[in-house]
Amino acid sequence: MTDLWVALGLVLALEGTLYALAPGAMKQAIRQMLDLPDNVLRAGGLAALVIGVLVVWAVRG
């Protein structure tokens, strides 16, 4: 369970860094995402999910 909290903390730290360093770019990215079709966002989310699981699997064995 500790690993889950560490992972969530890292996600928040990375996202917070992006918003702190480039808030304008993040707003623009969100605007662009709103214009994308759902299937494109879904495919991107699934790709991120698979890559994330593979990374965890490779690191944790």
- pLDDT tens digits for 26-46? 999 999 999 999 999 999 999
Q: Tell me the average pLDDT across 48-55.
A: 95
- pLDDT tens digits for 9-25? 999 999 999 999 999 99
Extents of the domains making up the chain: 2-60
For tokens 């593979």, what's the residue? Answer: 54
For residue 15, the model assigns a pLDDT of 94
CB-based contacts of 33: which residues, under 8 Å, 6+ apart? 41
